[in-house]
Amino acid sequence: MHIKTYFRRANITMRTFKITSKAVIGILGSLLFFVIIPQTVIGQTERLGIVKYTPPKGLNRTTKENVVAFSELNQTAGTYCIITLYGATVGTGDPAGDFTREWANLVLKTMKGEASPKTDTQAADGWAVVSGGSEVETDVGKAVGFLTVISGYGKTVSILAVFNDPAYVKTVDAFVGGIGLDKPSAPATTSAATGPIVKDGKIVVPPPDRQLTVADLAGQWGEDASRISTTYVDRSSGAYRGTDNLSFRSKMTITRTGGYANDFFAIRNGQKIIDNTTGTVRIDGRVFSIRQKNTARYVIRGWLELPDMTIFVVCGPWYDGDEIPPAIFSNPEQGANLNNTWVRKK
């Protein structure tokens, strides 16, 4: 959603206020958390990590680590505009969730606004763009807060604009529309030509070097046959109370359009268990979901294509409304006991 479209939909009427440069610096400081002496923006294409942007002409620049802001104050008219670009950080893999998190952290913690503003989502080239906003209440009165969050490849980039005059809509829209992002480059060690990396006798499955799609998963996947043995003892006496043994294997078929079928076979304490289920699958960033009676969500952790097979590693599952801990996305060791390795033969 371009900010011009949002502004029309929101139908927000802006009023002018008697404001001072000190008041605007106060708002700017709350957005940046640390203010450095402003510098005049030249207008050339620049970089903030993987982000390429063109500074708005005529606005002042304020920076800190991985953050850059552009601001303008018209004390006579009582109007101002602040555009803050937050560089790439670790994403959750859920674009809508990334927006909710960023709106809470960047807007609701520093000013009053709608708790859950209406949003618009667009996708292109492996990136998902979620944008939306609301009227906000700052220290100097009412304004518009408009947030754009770009998610993909395990990263999140945010752009927050706060302004109290419709004349700034064009400036904000041009800045957001001019953002460019670099795709993560593929690590040389993941190339099938060089062969897989083996550590401690096991193949190392690296994170995907691109955004995976459902079409990438089309085919039949097998989960290595596993055996689980649980011994029960009395809490008080420590006496043996029995053993539960389970051996199982799972064959999953995924279609290019998101269809899903699972042929599950197990032997539990000598009794057969056969369960054939169907459903649908989808991928949102780094989150892979299987929807049947309930929705099981997994975090994608590994993808390796070899001459004779493809290896897919996911962590989970989390069901329906369960929140996936943020550390699952940023720390590969977190929740490693929940990792599942699926193999598709070529």
**To 10 degrees, what angle do helices 3-10 and 169-177 make?**
140
Entry pTM? 0.52
- Give the model's pLDDT for residue 191: 41
Contacts of 215 (CB under 8 A, 6+ apart): 256
- Give the model's pLDDT for residue 249: 62
95-146 confidence digits (pLDDT tens): 888 899 899 989 998 889 999 998 988 887 788 999 999 989 887 788 999 9
- Which residue shows structure tokens 């299987």? 290
User: Which span out of 5-19, 144-158, 172-186, 230-244 was modeled with the highest average pLDDT?
Assistant: 144-158
Side by side, the strands of the sheet bearing 155-163 are: 39-40, 60-64, 67-74, 79-90, 155-163, 141-152, 127-138, 119-124
pLDDT band at 264 (very low <50, low <70, confident <90, very high): low
150-197 confidence digits (pLDDT tens): 998 878 999 999 999 888 988 998 999 899 998 765 443 444 445 677
Contacts of 19 (CB under 8 A, 6+ apart): 73, 75, 78, 80, 140, 141
Question: What percent of the chain stands above pLDDT 70?
Answer: 73
Distances (CA, A) of 120 to 73, 82, 133, 272: 29, 22, 10, 49
Could you tell me which residues are beta bridge partners of residue 203? Answer: 198
Residue 238 has pLDDT above 60, yes or no: no
List, by residue range, all CATH 3.40.1000.10 domains of the chain.
3-181
Average pLDDT across the chain, whole number: 78
For 201-214, what is the mean pLDDT? 83
- Give the model's pLDDT for residue 217: 94
User: Going along 125-190, which residue ranges are E strands?
Assistant: 127-138, 141-152, 155-163, 180-181
Start-to-end CA distance of the chain, whole Å, equals 41
- Give the model's pLDDT for residue 326: 82
- CATH number for 3-181: choose from 2.120.10.30, 3.90.420.10, 3.40.1000.10, 3.50.50.60: 3.40.1000.10
Residue 21 has pLDDT above 50, yes or no: no
Residue 12 has pLDDT above 70, yes or no: no
pLDDT band at 272 (very low <50, low <70, confident <90, very high): low
- Give the model's pLDDT for residue 43: 56
Residue 34 has pLDDT above 50, yes or no: no
Rounded Cα distance between 298 and 286, Å, is 8
pLDDT band at 319 (very low <50, low <70, confident <90, very high): very high
Rounded Cα distance between 152 and 126, Å, is 6
Residue 82 has pLDDT above 60, yes or no: yes
